[in-house]
Amino acid sequence: MASLFRSSTRIVSQASRLSVCQPLATRSRAAPFLFRGLATAQEQPRLRLGSIAPNFQAKTTHGDIDFHNFIGNNWAILFSHPADFTPVCTTELGAFARLKDEFESRGVKMIGLSANDLGSHEDWIKDINELSKTDLSFPIIADADRKIAFLYDMIDQQDLDNIDQKGIAFTIRSVFVIDPNKKIRLTMMYPASTGRNSTEVLRVIDSLQTGDKKGVTTPIDWKVGDDVIVPPSVSTADAKKKFGENNVRELKPYLRYTTI
């Protein structure tokens, strides 16, 4: 019995050392990718709203970039696509290209990402311009090794569980809205089967910029020109001083509208 106990103790001790000493990355489901050099670090950054968007260097259709330098003092949207020459992605890139002037008028720089090389991107852009009757002029990142996709967690679990024969997962449809301070202000994630709404991306940028400038929040389905909400942190008396005595409509003490 004593011998059995000592043997069991050795097994438990060895298991404990493995679980404690083994790097976290090698114990995760994505471990094969890390050993193949497809992730940028062993520890995934925490991409919370309000956190600094991870910086990276990349090759794009407009040349090599440093992402933070690319943003500069502008707002930016980084949006990813599963692959070149795929139907949903082609419609999306065309829609964003047609809205170029709208984004620029808001001080927003667009940059796409697709998990292919630059040669593929260049040929694909020709198709996008032909089919969407547009002239795509924003850069597209070449992320064939998925390093940026992993850095920004643009991978879904199904693709990690069912990787292709090359050991590479597809990139999902992600949107990151980043402000001039390089902070992540909003994220959206879609499965590969569902195309995004480009006008919704514009709408949320309008909401974020309005909130920053005016100190307000926006209700559901809000659009520019609609009434906004006085945040709970502002008293009704202070709201009337700020927005006008007759320009605060109180439905409940916690729900007050105003016009800006």
Residue 206: CB atoms within 10 Å: 17
The residues near 218 (Cβ < 8 Å, ≥ 6 apart) are 207, 210, 211, 226, 228, 229
Q: Residue 204 has which token pair?
A: 């949320």
Annotated catalytic residue: which of 71, 89, 95, 228? 89
Q: How far apart are CA 135 and CA 128, in angstroms?
A: 8
What DSSP character marks residue 51?
A: S
Compute the 3-state secondary structure of the chain and give helix, strand, coil in percent, each to the nearest 5. Answer: 40, 20, 40
User: What backbone phi and psi angles, to 5 degrees, belong to 77?
Assistant: -120, 130
Active site residue 21: no
Annotated catalytic residues are 89
